[in-house]
Copies of this chain bind each other. A is one copy, B any other.
Amino acid sequence: MGKIIMTLAMSLDGFIADENGGFDWIAGQGNGALDTEFKFDFGKFLEDIDLVIMGNNCYKEGHAKDYTIDVWVATREEKADEGDIKFVGGDIVGAAESEKAAGKNVYIFGGGVLADAFLKADAIDEYIIGVVPVILGKGRPLFLPDSPMGNTPKIPLELTNYAIEDGIINLYYKKRTE
């Protein structure tokens, strides 16, 4: 059995992009006094990942090319595969869960709508949430309200680790088994 993992950076008030979709607020505080020895190492994180899933906007921004492993782009557009990049329509959460059942570790890259589909399905096994030391006030929220797309259930978590670098704290959670 593999697992489905989400990593995202959010502001303290829960935004993953500013109101124009920008990310220039994702920055440290200029003071590493609280830095932990343990750091979030994205390269090392990727070593355990077999499949990256991202939304079509992320693909269009060029993020699929960042990976040398399989990438799925969730989209309703029908497109031919581009090497290791595959375009997947329909039930992306169910498809990811099948890969997980086949032993693969699946990384949900984003954006918000894709992450929301996995959240509402309670399909995430592990979360790494980087809390950036800023209140944005407005922007694109990580956690979307209930909608015709579904309701987010109550998901008890267990904090399993944390890493601080320049005021950004990465919180590692897994689904709590009670």
Contact = CB atoms under 8 A, between A and B. Distances in A.
A119 interface: yes
Contacts of A158: 29, 31, 133, 167
Most chain B CB neighbours (cut-off 10 Å) among A145, A154, A161, A164? A154
B154 A164 contact: no
A35 to B, nearest CB: 10
Contact of A135 (B12, B29, B146, B152): B152
A29 B157 contact: yes
Interface in A2-51: 12-14, 25, 29, 31, 34
Bin the interface of chain A by size. Answer: 35 or more
A154 B134 CA distance: 7
A157 B12 contact: yes
Interface of A: 12-14, 25, 29, 31, 34, 119, 127, 129, 131, 133-138, 142-143, 145-146, 151-162, 164, 167, 169, 171, 173, 176
Given A31-B158, A169-B171, 19 more contacts: A12-B157, A13-B14, A14-B14, A14-B143, A29-B156, A29-B158, A29-B159, A34-B161, A34-B162, A133-B156, A134-B155, A134-B156, A135-B154, A136-B154, A137-B143, A137-B154, A138-B146, A138-B152, A159-B167
